[in-house]
Structure formats: C-alpha cells, structure tokens
A and B are shown apart, each in its own frame.
Chain A
Amino acid sequence: MQSKMKESDPILEVHNLFASTDNLPILKGVSINVYPGEIHAIMGRNGCGKSTLSKIIAGHPSYNITNGEIKFSGEKISSLEPEERAQAGIFLGFQYPIEIPGVSNLEFLRVSTNARRKFLNKEELDTFDFEELVKEKLELVKMDQAFLTRSVNQGFSGGEKKRNEILQMALLEPKIAILDETDSGLDIDALRIVASGIKKISNAQTGIILITHYQRLLDEIKPNYVHVMADGQIIKTGGSDLALELEKKGYEWTDNFVKET
C-alpha cells in the first residue's frame, strides 16, 4: 500500500483486521500502515467503520478482533488494556468526548499526564508544576484557565470539548494520534484553532490519523494519504487530491468502487 520506500519502521501497522461487536461484523479486512511524520486521512459515510477502527486501536472493550492484528512500534497490542496503550503513546481524540460529572478536569489531566510520564521514565509532576505545564499548553488551543476547575467536559460546548481533546493530546505527547471527527461541530474559527494545535503538536516522529467526513479540515492539515472506507473496508487509497475529488463527486462516486471490487 505504501508507495515510496520508508527509512524507518512504521509506528502503527493494522493488518487485515476483522472485528465485530455483539456478533455483528463491522470491520472486514482493514490494513493501514502509518510511518513517523505521516498524516493519514480516513473518509467515508456514517457507519462505514471509521470510528470502530479508531476505538479498536484504542482498545475499547465492546469490540472483538476476529482476525488480523494491530502492531504499535512493532509490538502486537491486542492484549494491552486501553490505559497501557495510552501510556505507550496511542491517543484517541473522541468524536463525542465523554462528560464525567464530579471529576475535576485539572485532576483528570494531571493523573493522565503523569501516567504517560511514568511510562516515559519522566518525573511525575506535582500540582504546581503541572499547572505551569497546563497553562503553557492551554495557549495552544486558546482555552481559558477556567476550564480546568470544571468537571471533565461537563457543560462544555461542542467546540470546547474538542479543544479539551487537543489539550489532552498536547499534554500526553502521543506517538500516534487518531482524531475521530475532531472537526465536526466546529465553527470556522474553532476549526483553525484546533488544526493549528494539531500541527504544533505533531512532528517528524509522530503519526496522525484524521477521521473525517469533510475536506475542510484537510484544507488546514494536508494529509499524505487519503483512504476511503465503505462497509468495513478501505476501498481506495490516494494522495490528498483524492479528498478533493471525493468532495466534488460525493460518496456516490465511491459506491462504484465497491461494485468494482
């Protein structure tokens, strides 16, 4: 699938992945490799399996892998708990970030940041040091400090929730970030803030998978590869121009690919 020669090893390898929930097959043979520095976009209609793929990589307990495998930094991860994957550097940006009443956002961010730091053999941060770090990262997503004292995502607007996701990504410094429809529900200004945040966090060592319906996020963050998913499979892969073509012709255009294959 990868056309050019790669100098380093892939961060993430998804190989012929089949998965189901409640005995209902959802993924039917998905393969994708992400190398350092790459940005991949996965597009497709609702229900095509995009979100499921992201949840399975993050280790959601409701899904069963029935065939195929996922490797992260060369190691199989299917037996790892969600938190072990996160600590190792897999980040999932949720399409619908979960509200957790009563749990303070600041405490949540600190505990998770320290879990990741522990894995990286970095010193864990106390409250004061952590607040310093958070303030710095808040700048990236132009969030107000007041967010920190509220409960996790509770009462946040759609845009605030998404910015909170990017803030978490900035704090956790993942090796691979899978961002599930991070652009949905954002107005144009918020979209720019989120996109610039993502760009600042990513670098030549990190990989990014953007799951989206629309071109507009890809205008801000140009992907190296665009994959089109339908019915649990990747039916076409191309460069960033594939997204433009898709935008122009709509998903009906891709229906033909399914028939062809």
Chain B
Amino acid sequence: MEIIEKITTNKLVENQTEIQKICLHKLQSSPLPNPKSELWRLSNKSKFSNLLDYSINEKDLKLDTPYPKNSQSTIRLIIGENYQIKLIEENYSIQQLSEDELDKFMKEQISFFDQNENWSDLLNLSISCKKNILGLKINGSKIPPIEIFSHSSTNSFNAKTLVIFLEKNCNIELLQVNLGKENSSLSQSTFFFLEENSSLKHGVVSYGESGSNLLNSLNIIQQKNSEYKLGSLHFKFNYARFEINIKQSEGSAKTKIKGMQITKKDEQIATYTKIDFNGPNGFLDQINKSLADDKSHAIFEGSIIVPKIAQKTDASQLSRNLLLSSLAQIDTKPQLEIIADDVKCKHGATISQLNEEELFYMRTRGITLAEASKLQLSSYFQEIISFIPVSKDRWDLLDKLLNEN
C-alpha cells in the first residue's frame, strides 16, 4: 500500500499546507482504519489495499466531459481545473471562498474528526492540494443549475475536495459527477454548509470503469429550516465507499435521501450514512436501494441518532435490497439510537429477489422473462433516478444501467 507507506514516512506530499499537516499528523499515529470497527469490518481487504496502491497524481489529465453541456443556463465546473470563479449576477452570486474562510471552516471540521469515522476525509485532506480544493459560497435565488465534475486519471490516485457554503435563503440544484477512470482511485470529499432557510437539491452520480476505486465522502451541516435533498447513484466500481454524514445542527431541518448502488461482477460498493439530529423538529425520509448481481457484494449501514434534545423528530429509513445471484452478498444494518421520547422513528429493511408473482403476471401477458425483469428493475431504479436533479432527462441513466453489462 504505497500511500500508507508514504504517510508513515511523511513523504506523501511536498510543500504541505497547514491543513494537510494537521490531517497527516492525525493519520500518522494510526494510518489505517480499524478493520474491526463496524464501519470497516466488511471492507474487502485486497480491494481496499488496491485502492491505496496507486501513486498520487496532482496533475491529472484534462477531463473530457462525457456529456455535452445541456444548455447555456447550466454552470459546469471541473475540480482541479484552475479558474477563478466570480459570478455576480442580479439575483445571485457564486464566489470562491477566501483562503482564510476555507482554512477556518476546515480546521473546525477536522477538530471533530474521528480516526475511523472520518478516515476517508483525513486521507482526502492530506492529499488534496490547493488546486484540487474547490471552495464556493453561493447566495441569492434563481441560480442556474450547477454541475461539478471530479475524476481520476488512469493508474493514479486523485484526491478532490469540494466545499460549499449556501448562504441564507439560497436555493440551488447541484449535480456532482464522480468519474473513475480505468485502474485508478478517486477520493472525493465534499462539505456543504446550509445556512438557515437555504435549500439544496443535490445529486451524486458516481460511475467507474473497470478497476476503478472510489472513496466518496459527503459531510452536510444543516442549519434551521434548511432543506437538503440527495439523489445518489453509484455503479461500476471495483471498490467504492460512499459515506454520508449529516448533522441537523439545531434541528428543524428537512433531509430527504434516495440512494442506490449497483454491483456486478466481483465489485464491492458500500454506503454508510449517519444522520445526527441535534435539535428538535427534525425530519428525515431516507431510502437506500442496492442491487447485487454476479459475485458482488453490496453493503448498507445507516444510523439515525436522536438525542434528548431532538424532541418531535420524525425520521424514517428504509433499506431495500435485491439479491440477483446466488454468489452475490448483501449486508444491511439500519440502526436507530433514540433518547428523546416524543419522536416518530421507524426503519425497515428487506432483502429479496425480483417479485415472482409480478413476473408471472407479466409473463402471462406474453412479456418475456427478460423483459419483465427489465420492467421491474426499471421501476425499481426509477424512484431513485427521478430524484437526481439537473441532468436526469439527458443522461439517460436508466438505459445505461439496464443495457450496460
């Protein structure tokens, strides 16, 4: 594991920034996450070490965005391509965070980091150089949809960081696309700070090529009356982790998450979510779907934490899983930790195959088994895909998913 070696010998990156130094220092005491912790226990060891076996590459290749720009009205940004962003329009402004602002915010975040829980972020921030950190503050209304791309380059390890402050009353749609190149590792850490009354419709679509690995972490802080909606889709990774950490800092915020992961061949994709209600009247509606085929392994672990202060929390979490092959595996663990008494919390989990009665019904109408399965799968995907903002009409994700093998 080239990267771990370099961490221990402090040869990971040159000209370290202060943030890199802090994170590296935290990692040096124990450079790997504890394999016994619930968050890492199921991680495939050889795949995980493969992820860490690429050389760090700060100057990755220019990205050929695979999809043409939708229209003039979409703002497209690519992390790592150095530009000064300063868009000041009549209704809104999008500006780069100053170095001070970024430093202050990140240092505060890092001070809460736990070696196991935030290992992916610590690694990301240790490696991510200045040009691969995109920090923005956004305010105003009628903001055009934003697309932000991150990508890795073949045979290298790339770390990209995105930090966004949504100022009060601001309302945006933002799609993040993580593209894994053949035989590469991408580490993407994202930090969003939603101020009061702001609203973010967030999409995360991550897809790889053969032999791509991904560490994707998402940290959201929601202030009062903010609304955060996430539609996410992860597929085609040799190994991928999607870690979502959401904190409703004073409660009274809304969070809706619809996520999906698809594994085939011998891929392993895991989603870990932690939702922390740190005040009353919080709301969560979460569904996570997995589909595991061939020899693959899908993992979901979600925890909902409702302390005493979070009275009148209304939280629901559902894990729905399709296991399509006898060599595939699914692990799921939805968890509730509740101290407040006046709350409405529920969770559920199912693991099953495609519904046989539904399939039979369609087949008695002359629809072939393959087609009937496809119809059923597409309805299974549809709920998630329709929740991903910005490009849903153009990406034709559904077809891509159903037809790509």
A-B contact count (CB 8 A): 76
Q: Chain B nearest CB: distance from A150 CB in Å?
A: 13
Q: Chain B nearest CB: distance from A60 CB in Å?
A: 6
* A115 adjacent to B379 (CB under 8 Å): no
Determine the chain A residues whose CB is within 8 A of the CB of B68 once the complex forms: none
User: A96-140: contact bitstring with B at CB < 8 Å (1 yes, 0 no)?
Assistant: 011011110001100110011001000000000000000000000
Q: Chain A nearest CB: distance from B60 CB in Å?
A: 39
Given contacts A60-B360, A82-B360, A111-B371, contact A100 B366 (CB under 8 A): no
* A61 adjacent to B366 (CB under 8 Å): no
Q: Quick check: which of A29-37, A70-78, A86-94, A181-189 contacts chain B, the rest being far away?
A: A86-94
B347 interfacial contact with A, CB 8 Å: no
Using C-beta atoms within 8 Å of the partner chain, give the interface range for chain B. Answer: 20 to 34
User: B328-368: contact bitstring with A at CB < 8 Å (1 yes, 0 no)?
Assistant: 00000000000000000000000000011110111111111
Given contacts A61-B356, A82-B360, A111-B371, contact A103 B366 (CB under 8 A): no
B149 interfacial contact with A, CB 8 Å: no
B380 interfacial contact with A, CB 8 Å: yes
In the assembled complex, the Cα of A102 lies from the Cα of B372 at a distance in Å of: 13
Q: Which of A112, A119, A151 contacts B365 (CB 8 A)?
A: A112
Determine the chain B residues whose CB is within 8 A of the CB of A217 once the complex forms: none
B294 interfacial contact with A, CB 8 Å: no
Determine the chain A residues whose CB is within 8 A of the CB of B197 once the complex forms: none
B376 interfacial contact with A, CB 8 Å: yes
In the assembled complex, the Cα of A83 lies from the Cα of B365 at a distance in Å of: 6
- Of all chain B residues, the one with the shortest Cβ separation from A55 is B360
Q: Which of A86, A103, A107 contacts B364 (CB 8 A)?
A: A86
- Of all chain A residues, the one with the shortest Cβ separation from B383 is A102
Q: Which of A91, A101, A102, A108 contacts B362 (CB 8 A)?
A: A108
A81 interfacial contact with B, CB 8 Å: yes
Q: Chain A nearest CB: distance from B328 CB in Å?
A: 21
Most buried by B among A82, A94, A98, A107: A82
Given contacts A103-B376, A111-B375, contact A94 B361 (CB under 8 A): yes
Determine the chain B residues whose CB is within 8 A of the CB of A141 once the complex forms: none
A210 interfacial contact with B, CB 8 Å: no
Q: Chain A nearest CB: distance from B180 CB in Å?
A: 29
Determine the chain B residues whose CB is within 8 A of the CB of A116 once the complex forms: 366
- Of all chain B residues, the one with the shortest Cβ separation from A169 is B365
Q: Which of B366, B376, B379, B383 contacts A87 (CB 8 A)?
A: B366
- Of all chain A residues, the one with the shortest Cβ separation from B368 is A83
Determine the chain B residues whose CB is within 8 A of the CB of A92 once the complex forms: 364
Q: Which of B356, B358, B365, B378 contacts A115 (CB 8 A)?
A: B365
Determine the chain A residues whose CB is within 8 A of the CB of B380 once the complex forms: 102
Interface hits, A30-89 → B, CB 8 Å: 58-61, 81-83, 85-87
Q: Chain A nearest CB: distance from B372 CB in Å?
A: 8
Q: Which of B355, B358, B365 contacts A86 (CB 8 A)?
A: B365
Determine the chain A residues whose CB is within 8 A of the CB of B365 once the complex forms: 83, 86, 108, 112, 115, 168, 172
Determine the chain B residues whose CB is within 8 A of the CB of A97 once the complex forms: 361
* A100 adjacent to B379 (CB under 8 Å): yes
In the assembled complex, the Cα of A111 lies from the Cα of B362 at a distance in Å of: 10
Most buried by A among B357, B361, B369: B361
Determine the chain A residues whose CB is within 8 A of the CB of B360 once the complex forms: 60-61, 82, 98
Q: Which of B357, B367, B379, B383 contacts A98 (CB 8 A)?
A: B357
In the assembled complex, the Cα of A91 lies from the Cα of B366 at a distance in Å of: 9
B70 interfacial contact with A, CB 8 Å: no
B contact residues vs A (CB 8 Å cutoff): 355-358, 360-369, 371-372, 375-376, 378-380, 382-383
Pairs of residues from A and B, 3 with the lowest C-beta to C-beta distance, nearest first: A102-B379, A115-B366, A112-B365
A contact residues vs B (CB 8 Å cutoff): 58-61, 81-83, 85-87, 91-92, 94, 97-98, 100-103, 107-108, 111-112, 115-116, 119, 151, 168, 172
Contacts A91-B364, A98-B360 given; 9 further ones with Cβ under 8 A?
A: A59-B363, A83-B366, A87-B366, A94-B364, A102-B379, A108-B375, A115-B365, A168-B365, A172-B365
